[in-house]
Structure 1
Amino acid sequence: MEDGLLPALFLADEAATARLGEDIAMALKPGDAIALKGDLGAGKSTLARALIRALADDAALEVPSPTFTLLQSYAARFPVHHFDLYRLGSPHELDELGFEEILGDGAALIEWPEQAGNRLPAETVQIELTHEGERRSAQISGNGPLLERIARSLAMRAFLGDAGWGDAVRRAFAGDASARGYEIVTRASEVPRVLMNSPPLVMGPPVRDGRPYAEIAHTAKTVAAFVAIDRALSDGGVTVPQIHAQDLDHGFVLMQHLGSEGFLDTEGKPIKARYEAAALLLAMMHGQEWACRLEAAPGILHTVPPFDRDAMMIEADLLVDWYVPAITGALAVEQIRADYRRHWNALLDRLEGRETTLMLRDFHSPNIVWRAERKGHDRLGILDFQDALVGPPAYDVASLAMDARVSVPPKIERATYDAYIAARNAAGDFDTGAFAEAYAIMAAQRNSKILGIFVRLDRRDGKPAYLKHLPRIRDYLRRALAHPALTELRTFYEEQGFLEERPL
């Protein structure tokens, strides 16, 4: 595409105009502004209506023209404000509407934007609709992240077209702490599918020895990791989404929708039997051999990296890099950092030569679907495993039993742990004592990391919702540090105040 200008789109009918509205809605974020231009009958209302309905996930939502009211606001996935400035007498009248404040609260869709003069945000994207005989044409232009997101959303529509799903209805489904996003796509007489948007990883600046964090922590760089591990897990008897179509270059995957039932009851409390069933699945997985070089497509291989000491330490260091400054108001002094790393290196020494396996890394309730109508391990549908590593099996058990987003009581944690131990013992010779120590070390490492990650998501990425989980993570950390092997680390954490309940 030319700088600031996307290729012109030809819209054969009203349905195509509505699909464009959906595609733009999937790219919008709070703070974005869209300027809609075009003569009467060019399709502005059709596009605006489809966009707003997609954001609200309500195909029947009444979307009247704001011609006489100038503004109509909707409580959608995030607030969306529909302006029609045709009757505006002067740009100064925007102040009476609270224009600047409204633009800061959600996304804005602005018809007759020329009436606003120079009051629109600098990164406003313009969509101009014109008649092309019996068809319409859309020209999209602008600068900044929104235009890039719209271009990617349009590429996703083209990917759906190549997969035979070009007329599918798109709705936002879920996101996570990464740059990945997910949509539910539906067609008449078809089972809904999931569309994954997984752009190539942005590596970030060097943080240690000239290497970025993502490289040291072995974060998956492309969607090829997801596709390759999906196939390996399926071959190994694990229920994962069937992949219907993939574009490894762009990071798009169209796959099976395994369902949406989770591990919590109607009161939001963990269901013990489901955590135990997940532990049994882990025991089955950890009892078999896994290849480290996996095929994503003919000629495209993904090598599963090791959860080596550098990766463990760069993750654990997130506590002193982000959490400590947040609770103390100052950077951690070098002596604290040195003592912290000395304690951790001593613990990681204890893991040398221990059992390793394919560990999925984020094996916890948000990434597991409960399928009550199925039997055995097939009751569990596993998601989000592209960052899998070869490392201690105890890590995944700790990830499950100390669920970062769910308050798992000690009794359910213990039942989950015991179910795993019983299954491993039943399958053959298993060193329960060594595993108990590894479990405590990995649980302490993971929860130390999460304290840092959740603060980083707030301070760096503007996602304060993660801070509500900190008390739970501190509680999990206290549980892990109770193991005798971690006595020195526990004393150090207590002396430094890492485990105290402090407001941020």
Structure 2
Amino acid sequence: MTATDNRECRRALATWLQGMGLSASGLTGIAGDAGGRRYYRLATAQGTRVVMDASDDPGSVAPFVRVRALMDAAGLHVPAIHAADPERGFCLLEDLGEESFLQVFRQKGADTAMEAAIQALVRWQSFELADALPPYNGERLYAELDLFAVWYVQRHLGVQPTPGWWQCWREGCERLVHSALAQPRVGVHRDFMARNLIKSRPSPGVIDFQDALIGPVTYDLASLLRDAFFSWPERQEQYWIQRYRARAAAAGIPLPDGFTQALDWMAAQRHLKVLGIFARLAHRDGKPAYIADAPRFLDYLATELAGYDALKPLAGLIAALPSPAGAR
């Protein structure tokens, strides 16, 4: 977005707020997401509010409103919508708080926060959605994997794969997608990670849920346990996996046979996708900070693919890629 475009968006947002008797002069920028949405905190007579400016992608507001209603019905703490203009991409939201679970995990209190996160996840997964959300189908899963090959391998690393590389890549992708599609299907937040969980009352507050789908049961657990910005020691991760499985079983949520493999392969699909997204953010959108976490994702992948004979060729393919350090 150009400086002129940004000024025009701010003027349109200010006009919208003024129509509700609010002044844009008190807007304070807060951390946005990897998409085109911008967020501000605003003091009002009724308390602080969060202003969402999705004017670059107004089409995301309607899904946000729809998924918010579903999660609220499921018993999750999601922000109340005080006002919305889907056509222009503006929302005035409840302020759930300033402290994310990422901050909590890095300090004391991680155990309490993780228990709350797992309870919220089980509550969401046990909610009957029927066809209320689109399916997380094979087409979407393959398209996400393509991001890794196009944006990370070719654009970020500058590697031009051989026909043999592409063949091995496609075979690995087929195995990951087949595993994902074979899992029981539940509501999937699609970015159920620490930065999108807010310390609040009740906790957690859940945000950034507009891309939710109905899909593989292990997806959100993989997002929570193998975070883009925080890694659990293996022993703690195994403890939380068992806690999740016990709570899921008690709630009647079906889990796949071979749960460990299903979780590893689902996490691998997600991490390949996210590496592609982070590379695209760096090279297309001018947001290079995200790709700095590429080594964390490569470490995750090395662990997730290890020990599975069917994925040894894919693991070798990834291990043979140049280091992300110094990539163009």
**TM-score after normalising by structure 2:** 0.90
Counterpart of 1:134 in structure 2 is none
Unaligned runs of 5+ in 1: 1-28, 30-144, 202-219, 294-303
Counterpart of 2:161 in structure 1 is 332
- The one of 13, 16, 21 equivalent to 1:164 is 21
1:225 is paired with a residue whose SS is helix
1:363 shift after superposition = 0.6
1:175 is paired with a residue whose SS is coil
Q: Does 1:198 align with 2:37?
A: no
Residue identity opposite 2:310 in structure 1: E
Q: May I ask how many residue pairs the two structures share in their alignment?
A: 325
2:285 is paired with a residue whose SS is coil
Counterpart of 1:424 in structure 2 is 248
Query: CA separation in 2, counterparts of 1:334 and 1:287?
Result: 44
**Identity in percent:** 33
Residue identity opposite 1:457 in structure 2: L
Counterpart of 2:80 in structure 1 is 242
Residue identity opposite 2:127 in structure 1: Q
Residue identity opposite 2:88 in structure 1: H
Task: Spell out the pairing of 1:226-305 with structure 2 (5 A cutoff).
Answer: 226-264=64-102, 268=106, 271-293=110-132, 304-305=133-134
1:246 is paired with a residue whose SS is strand
Query: CA separation in 1, counterparts of 2:76 and 2:209?
Result: 12
- The one of 472, 475, 497 equivalent to 2:319 is 497
Q: Which has the larger radius of gyration?
A: 1
1:336 shift after superposition = 1.5
Q: Does 1:312 align with 2:141?
A: yes
Query: CA separation in 2, counterparts of 1:346 and 1:432?
Result: 16
The structure-2 alpha-carbon separation of the partners of 1:284 and 1:196, relative to structure 1 and needing over 3 Å to count, comes to same
1:386 shift after superposition = 0.5
Query: CA separation in 1, counterparts of 2:157 and 2:227?
Result: 26
1:434 shift after superposition = 4.1
Greater RCO (CA < 8 Å, at least 6 residues apart)? 2
Counterpart of 2:4 in structure 1 is 147
1:349 shift after superposition = 2.3
1:229 is paired with a residue whose SS is helix
Query: CA separation in 2, counterparts of 1:185 and 1:265?
Result: 22
1:193 is paired with a residue whose SS is strand
Query: CA separation in 2, counterparts of 1:167 and 1:447?
Result: 39
2:93 is paired with a residue whose SS is strand
Larger deviation: 161-170 or 426-435? 426-435
1:147 shift after superposition = 2.4
Could you say what the CA RMSD is over the residues aligned between the two structures, in angstroms? 2.4
1:266 shift after superposition = 7.5
Counterpart of 1:357 in structure 2 is 186
1:242 shift after superposition = 0.5
Residue identity opposite 2:114 in structure 1: Y
1:458 shift after superposition = 1.7
1:496 shift after superposition = 4.8
Query: CA separation in 2, counterparts of 1:167 and 1:424?
Result: 45
Query: CA separation in 2, counterparts of 1:267 and 1:310?
Result: 35
Q: Does 1:173 align with 2:30?
A: yes
Residue identity opposite 2:281 in structure 1: L
Q: Does 1:435 align with 2:273?
A: no
Counterpart of 1:379 in structure 2 is 203
Query: CA separation in 2, counterparts of 1:495 and 1:244?
Result: 50
The structure-2 alpha-carbon separation of the partners of 1:168 and 1:233, relative to structure 1 and needing over 3 Å to count, comes to farther
8 Å contact kept, 1:272–1:412: no
Query: CA separation in 2, counterparts of 1:307 and 1:432?
Result: 17
